[in-house]
């Protein structure tokens, strides 16, 4: 027997009261809403569930925004050719994707996140909150060391040392629902985007940040310069340590 969808004439006021309660606490379920409104839950369950959907996706302050795609912190890594076999990865917990670039995916059983491994050797580590560098390295070890893809500790240390933070998302909660606003003035210059009232966090100020490529390039150039100076110093020290005796061209 289907449930009766008819409601009394006070459904408009119930809608307003429900929206007001959800503005104060977005985590309220239909059951708790019915209790706060002093309404029978079995009769109003479907109606209140629909109201929650309307409040979340069709609220007057909501302007059709989409949830952010970078809720988790993202780290980048690199596996060089010859260090790990991609052929063995499929038999050790990694799944091939259906994308054209044919990357492999590892879903961590301990729920730390997932790893995308591209044919170029690039690794994209999506770490679940609360994310930090230690969790990113542990996620890498779960995907490569514990699965048996890497058994050499020296190779493992070299791969772990290449893991760098790339981007992330940090929400700051407020006491009320915020109007939908996106600030992109600092996106290109500083890699920072600020969102207010997003569908995923309607009562939060969200900061989406990304490490600038220029900073990564400067770090790479600095590392290369240090290696060059070390090689140059060894070359100079070697030349000074083994001096060739001068030849006396005028000796009889």
Q: Tens of pLDDT along the chain (252 residues)?
A: 344 444 444 555 888 888 888 877 777 888 888 988 888 998 988 998 888 888 876 545 443 334 333 356 889 999 988 888 888 888 888 998 887 888 999 999 888 899 999 988 999 999 988 788 888 999 999 999 989 999 888 999 999 999 998 888 888 888 888 888 888 888 888 888 888 887 777 888 888 888 865 545 545 555 666 666 677 666 666 655 554 454 555 444
For position 215, what pLDDT does the model report? Answer: 45
57, containing H or E segment: helix 41-57
For position 9, what pLDDT does the model report? Answer: 46
Distance CA 225, CA 90 (A): 39
Bridge partner list, 96: 104
For position 248, what pLDDT does the model report? Answer: 53
Q: What is the DSSP letter of 132?
A: -
Which DSSP string do the residues of 214-245 spell out, in sequence order? Answer: HHHHHHHHHHHHHHHHHHHHHHHHHHHHSPPP
For position 196, what pLDDT does the model report? Answer: 87
* End-to-end C-alpha distance for the chain, whole angstroms: 123
For position 157, what pLDDT does the model report? Answer: 92
Distance CA 113, CA 127 (A): 5
Q: List, in order, residues 6 or more apart from 166 with CB less than 8 Å away.
A: 74, 75, 76, 124, 210, 211
Peptide bond into 130 cis (omega under 30): yes
């Amino acid at each position: 027997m289907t449930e009766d969808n008819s409601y009394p004439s006070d459904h408009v006021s119930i809608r307003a009261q429900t929206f007001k309660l959800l503005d104060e606490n977005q985590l309220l379920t239909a059951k708790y809403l019915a209790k706060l409104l002093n309404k029978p839950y079995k009769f109003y369950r479907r109606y209140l569930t629909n109201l929650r959907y309307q409040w979340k996706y069709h609220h007057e302050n909501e302007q059709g925004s989409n949830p952010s795609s970078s809720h988790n912190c993202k780290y980048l890594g690199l596996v060089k050719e010859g260090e790990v076999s991609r052929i063995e990865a499929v038999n050790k917990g990694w799944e091939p994707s259906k994308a054209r670039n044919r990357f492999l995916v590892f879903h961590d059983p301990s729920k730390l996140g997932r790893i995308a491994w591209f044919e170029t050797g690039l690794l994209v580590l999506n770490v679940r909150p609360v994310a930090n560098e230690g969790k990113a390295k542990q996620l890498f070890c779960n995907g490569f060391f514990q699965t048996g893809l890497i058994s050499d500790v020296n190779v493992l240390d070299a791969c772990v040392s290449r893991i760098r933070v790339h981007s992330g998302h940090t929400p700051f909660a407020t006491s009320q629902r915020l109007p939908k606003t996106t600030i992109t003035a600092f996106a290109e210059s500083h890699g920072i985007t600020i969102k207010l009232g997003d569908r995923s966090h309607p009562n939060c100020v969200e900061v989406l940040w990304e490490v600038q490529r220029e900073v990564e390039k400067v770090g790479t150039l600095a590392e290369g310069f240090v290696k060059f100076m070390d090689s140059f110093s060894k070359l100079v020290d070697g030349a000074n340590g083994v001096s060739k005796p001068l030849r006396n061209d005028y000796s009889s």
